[in-house]
Amino acid sequence: MQSLIQIFTLATLSAVLATVQAVPAPRSAGATVPLTLTLDNSSINFDVARTAESAQPLNPQLISLSIEFGNAIDFFGDVGKPNEFSRKLLQNVVDRSGVPPVLRIGGNTGDKWVYCDNCTAALSSIIEVNPNNPLSTEAVTVTVGRAFFQALEENVPPATKYILGLNFGANIYEIAQAQMDAALKYFNQSRILAYELGNEPNIYAAYPPLKRPSTWTVVDYGKQMLSWMPRLRARAQTNAPSFQFGSIIGPPTSFSDFSLAALAKMGVPQNIGGVKYFAAHGYPGNVCTKEASDQTQLTTYINHLETVDFVSQYQGEIAAAKSAGASFHIGETNSAGCHGKDGVSNTLGALLWEIDYALIAAAAGVDRLFFHNGVGGFYYAMWEPLPANSTTPAHINPTYYSMLFVADVVAGLSQPTISRIVKLDTFDTAQYAIFERNRLQKLVILNTHYYNDTSEARPSKFVNVSSVLGPNIKFRRLTASETTATSGITWAGQSVDASGTVVGKLVTEHASNGVVELLASEAVIVERNGSRS
């Protein structure tokens, strides 16, 4: 959770973080959760017709990106100087799914930017690094000129859409109005999916520099939204823009009195106009303090049932969005708040968690998830857009492959839907059925079992899918040497090189008995074996 750390008394900070960002407690060993991998063959067998009827829409942009506002130019480049590495990485997704991810420009620095009409620089910022504060690599002030909008428009794949954050934290309406006016004037509005007012307002009164008084409540927030958002929307003379509402930090069970469900019950978003998306944020762990960092372990993330529990906490928010006729976004998320943890957030295990998390969320009714990214110690970032120094070039992290994997899940399908095969869940296996017009098209199977001893044989699991897909199948495999691998990832035999290009021969495996073998910490997409391979 990106707003949760500032210089603050450690005791108070730790107490609040324990409530807001606590890592879900690992399940204890026992009958409910086996702690050893089942080596026997298993079969995927379920009522296909009934499962299809209950399946949820699977958005091709399910895995989208949140970019720290102050790092937007780092990621995408300046006017006439695009970041070709980033552009290639985005285009790789388009080449598979047909659509680019949505880019949300926001985060902590979304509440720190101001617009300057006379400034020639697209973006300038001030950073005050404090080695004791993991968030200090974020800018403390951000100034944006009109060239900023041109750069965002020109430097990404043509169909890319944005969610653009406006500064609500400053508590000065004129700042947000100037930003809105500039965006309406200089940004092609067909590229705007929605505007977003504020970042994690439910903790504005909790952390210095305080953005609201200690008496700040959900009612106060609702009143300001009803005052500000209609006026901002009215700045457009024609074609009033859409808004993403809320962007509050979760999970909502930690803020029962400050939630989207509570705001919808009060009728706030329904009376604003143009609210098409509800958004809540969430990080299942954090590294904001040493104590929290010590609890943030990779084994928690690859426990499928822990991730199911985490997503289930958003069910009330999802329902509130649907009842208001809006889509629901997990609008900022990643593995561990305060920029992630080295050796956890940048591993094969984190990649498997990210895929599992996104598919669980989709099956629960989430439209998109926006995985957060930044520059400077953001271990959970999909990629580093710029060289860190002379020896560390721009590069991808393992989690980038989640975008390619999910793009291939939806590839070739015009209206995909998804259902989690709940009865087959274990702590280290997950299965998802992908449908098109109620016909089963693909299965996604994950074996998240931890493996970090390359001196011993890697455990495997055999899964028989013949009862639902038939005996003749083809599948592609996501793998690496071990769960903690930070490099050497391959998806269908291919990898991404230093230029962002997918290289290597595409490997599609085949079987005539309907059986797939998955090694520990692997994932596959399985289809019927037709003419296409």
The gap from C-alpha 480 to its chain's centroid, in whole angstroms, comes to 22
Domain ranges, residue 293: 60-410
My answer on whether 444 and 381 are in the same domain is no
First to last CA, the chain: 41
Q: Three-state DSSP class for 226?
A: helix
Instruction: Please tell me the distance from the alpha carbon of residue 41 to that of residue 36, in angstroms, as a whole number.
Output: 14
**Tokens found for residue 331:** 């609008």
With contact defined as beta carbons under 8 Å apart, do 243 and 195 qualify?
Answer: yes
441-488 pLDDT, tens digit each: 999 999 999 999 877 899 999 999 999 999 999 999 999 999 999 999
> Among residues 343, 377, 410, which one ends one of the domains?
410
Residue 213 predicted with pLDDT over 80: yes
CA nearest to 308, candidates 19, 32, 11, 4:
32
Residue 221 lies inside a defined structural domain of this protein = yes
393 and 422 in a common domain: no
**Shared domain check, 219 and 70:** yes
Q: Secondary structure of 72-111 in the HEC alphabet? A: HHHHHEECCEECHHHHHHHHHHHHHHCCCCCEEEECHHHH
Distance CA 331, CA 333 (A): 7
Q: In whole angstroms, what is the distance from residue 184 CA to residue 418 CA? A: 37
Residue % of the chain over a pLDDT of 70: 92
| DSSP code of residue 380 | T
| CATH at residue 457 | 2.60.40.1180
Residue 5 confidence (pLDDT) above 60: no
- Is the pLDDT reported for residue 308 higher than 70? yes
Q: Within this chain, do residues 390 and 488 fall inside the same structural domain, yes or no? A: no
My answer on whether 213 and 65 are in the same domain is yes
* 397 and 444 co-located in one domain: no
d(CA 375, CA 360): 28
Is residue 170 included in any domain, yes or no? yes
Give the separation between CA 418 and CA 57, rounded to whole angstroms.
6
pLDDT above 50: residue 239: yes
Exposure string over 324-344, b if 16+ CB within 10 A, otherwise e: bebbbbbbbbbbbbbbbbeeb
Q: Which residues pair with 473 in a beta bridge?
A: 511, 528
Q: Is 171 exposed, middle or buried (0-12, 13-18, 19+ CB in 10 A)?
A: middle
**pLDDT-derived band at 42, boundaries 50, 70, 90:** confident
Q: In the predicted model, what is the mean pLDDT of the chain? A: 91
130 against 472, higher pLDDT: 472
What pLDDT does 20 receive? Answer: 34
Q: What is the DSSP letter of 303?
A: -
The reply to whether 492 falls in a domain is yes
Task: Determine which helix (DSSP H) or strand (DSSP E) holds 280, and give its type and residue range.
Answer: strand 275-282
Q: How far is CA 106 from the centre of its chain?
A: 13
- Ramachandran bin of 77, using left for φ above 0, alpha for ψ from -120 to 50, beta for the remaining angles: left
pLDDT one-digit tens code per residue, 349-398: 999 999 999 999 999 999 999 999 999 899 999 999 999 888 889 999 99
pLDDT, tens only, 173-196: 999 999 999 999 999 999 999 999
Query: For tokens 């430097």, what's the residue?
Result: 155
Neighbours of 308 (CB within 10 A): 19
The reply to whether 452 and 395 lie within a common domain is no
Over range 72-84, report the average pLDDT: 98
**Residue 385 near residue 85 (C-beta atoms within 8 A):** yes
Do 351 and 242 reside in the same domain of the chain?
Answer: yes
- Mark which of 410, 425, 455 sits at the end of a domain: 410
Residue corresponding to tokens 């934290």: 169
Task: Tell me the pLDDT band of 208, cut-offs 50, 70 and 90.
Answer: confident
SS3 assignment, position 418 = strand
Q: Is residue 153 part of a domain?
A: yes
CATH for 251 = 3.20.20.80
Q: Which residues of 496-527 are buried (b: 16+ CB within 10 A; e: fewer)?
A: beeebebeeeeeebebeebebbbebbbbbbbb
How many distinct structural domains can be found in the chain?
2
In Å, how far are 422, 467, 470 from 50, measured between CA atoms?
Answer: 13, 15, 18
Please indicate, yes or no, if residue 33 is contained in any of the structural domains.
no
Model confidence at 17, pLDDT cuts 50, 70, 90, reads very low
- 533 inside domain: no
**Is the pLDDT score of 299 beyond 60?**
yes
**Claim to verify: residue 145 and residue 201 sit in the same structural domain:** yes
Is the same domain home to 454 and 357? no
Q: Do residues 290 and 378 both lie within one domain?
A: yes
Give domain status of residue 357, yes or no.
yes
pLDDT recorded at residue 221: 98
| pLDDT above 90 (res 130) | no
Asked if residue 218 and residue 168 are part of one domain, the reply reads yes
Given a contact cutoff of 8 angstroms between Cβ atoms, the answer to whether 225 and 197 are in contact is yes
pLDDT for the residue numbered 237: 87
* pLDDT digits 0-9 by tens, 432-454: 999 999 999 999 999 999 999 87
Taking the C-alpha atoms of residue 212 and residue 199, their distance in angstroms, rounded to an integer, is 13
- Distance from C-alpha of 461 to C-alpha of 450, rounded to nearest angstrom: 13
Answer with the one of 410, 439, 470 that is the final residue of a domain: 410
**Predicted pLDDT at 253:** 76
Mean pLDDT, residues 229-255: 93
- Residue 276 contacts residue 331 (beta carbons within 8 Å): no
Contact 92, 184 (CB under 8 A): no
Vertex 382, ends 379 and 388: CA angle to 5°? 60
In this prediction, residue 31 carries a pLDDT of 31
- Is position 6 within any domain? no
Q: What integer pLDDT is reported at residue 127 of this predicted model?
A: 83
Kind plus residue range of the DSSP H or E element containing 351: helix 348-363
User: Rounded to 5 degrees, what angle do the CA atoms 78, 125, 383 make?
Assistant: 60
Are 341 and 293 a contacting pair, CB within 8 Å? yes
Query: pLDDT tens digits, residue range 507-523?
Result: 999 999 999 999 999 99
